[in-house]
Amino acid sequence: MSIIFIILAVLMSIGVGWSIGANDAANSLGTAVGSKVLTLWQAIILISVFGFLGAYLQGANVCRTIGRGIVAMDKLEKNVALYLALAACFAACAWVALATFWKIPISTSHSIVGAVAGAGLAIGVPVAWNVLGDIFICWVLTPVGAAFLGFALYWIFKNTLHYIIPESWVNTIMSALVVLSGCYMAFTWGANDVANATGVIVGAGVFTPNLSIIIGGLAIVLGIVTWGYKVIETIGSNMLNLVPIMAFSVQLASALNVHVYTLLGVPVSTSHSIVGAIFGVGLVKGIKVLNIPIFRDIVICWLATPFVSGVISFIIMKFIFFII
């Protein structure tokens, strides 16, 4: 029975990685596609390469928080930790895949954190509510901080670049900056989000952190290549019509925002960050240029994410203990 559950847990962890790649690929270079700097497939290739590098080089920080910070999985009996990992991965994967089908950018971080807490509650193990409280505060601060950064960066660039860069060079230089900032965003995304796929597997003692990061990184790449185009359309053009200088401001603001949390080991949402940055950049031109109904739908899904994932994992965990 344990071998079967190990295999299922690993497969579901890979499924979470796939869903992360499918939903969150847009967070890195979706704005570059929307501003016509890159084609869809050029963006997908760059996201795959730099997302994997971020996962491999800096993914361990957030893995520790997901795997042991919310529920002390390393303190649980091995089979119980494995069941919890399976329930959490299934719940997170199911909700993120559904949101991707709807083309809504949601938080895989919120999904896996809610799922781990829900599974923990189902079996009565201690949940670190203080850690969840700190994570929740960061969740609120992520889009707000990105919006302020996006607003400030775009306002500065919009009003100063024409003094620094000759007009004939502007398009070329801005296109290069959009690509570079998008690659940086892909790196920070991989570093922060690979834990959402593999953190619980590490916590359950199935894989070592390094091996899990490689597996999670490859699963994310698979998601990018197969279904990543869906949310790229929403990020790239449905919320705000972007030109290269706006795309650069959005990506740089979002990447700086996420990188700070990654270094602190806090799982935050690159989706929240990129959407917040787009909102902030749009405000420079006035709220009328923003597609408010899209933002409203996204925020509703954001609020639902940890609770829906938590309920799904709670039910699955109860079911597992009922059948064993």
pLDDT digits (tens, 9 = 90+) for 33-61: 878 888 888 988 898 889 888 878 877 66
The whole-number pLDDT of residue 24 equals 78
The CB-side HSE value for 147 (13 A sphere, CA atoms) comes to: 13
- Per-residue exposure over 225-255, b if at least 16 CB sit within 10 Å of its own CB, e if not: bebbbbbbebbbbebbebebbbbbbbbbbbb
What DSSP letter does each residue of 26-53 carry, written as one string?
HHHHHHHHHTTSS-HHHHHHHHHHHHHH
- Nearest-Å Rg of the Cα atoms of the chain is 19
The whole-number pLDDT of residue 312 equals 96
Question: What is the distance between the alpha carbons of residues 39 and 76, in angstroms, rounded to a whole number?
Answer: 47
Alpha helices in the chain (DSSP H): 2-24, 26-34, 40-58, 60-64, 78-101, 108-123, 129-164, 170-203, 209-227, 229-233, 244-264, 270-285, 292-323
Cβ distance 224 to 25 under 8 Å?
yes
Question: What is the distance between the alpha carbons of residues 208 and 23, in angstroms, rounded to a whole number?
Answer: 26
Question: What is the distance between the alpha carbons of residues 226 and 275, in angstroms, rounded to a whole number?
Answer: 23
For residue 53, the enclosing domain spans 2-323
Q: Per the structure block, which two tokens stand in for 295?
A: 């933002």
Where the chain has pLDDT below 50, the residues are: 1
The residues, ordered by sequence, that sit 6+ positions from 293 with a Cβ below 8 Å of its Cβ are none
Instruction: Please give the single-letter amino acid code of residue 322.
Output: F
Question: What is the distance between the alpha carbons of residues 51 and 108, in angstroms, rounded to a whole number?
Answer: 15
Give the count of domains, the chain: 1
Cβ distance 110 to 313 under 8 Å?
no
Cβ distance 295 to 234 under 8 Å?
no
CA angle centred on 56, ends 37 and 59, rounded to 5°: 95
Question: What is the distance between the alpha carbons of residues 80 and 78, in angstroms, rounded to a whole number?
Answer: 5
Quote the distance between the C-alpha of residue 6 and its chain's center: 25
Q: Per the structure block, which two tokens stand in for 227?
A: 């279904």
The whole-number pLDDT of residue 1 equals 46
Question: What is the distance between the alpha carbons of residues 115 and 132, in angstroms, rounded to a whole number?
Answer: 12
Question: Which CB contacts under 8 angstroms, 24+ apart, belong to 129-132?
Answer: 131/65, 131/69, 131/70, 132/70
The residues, ordered by sequence, that sit 6+ positions from 208 with a Cβ below 8 Å of its Cβ are 202
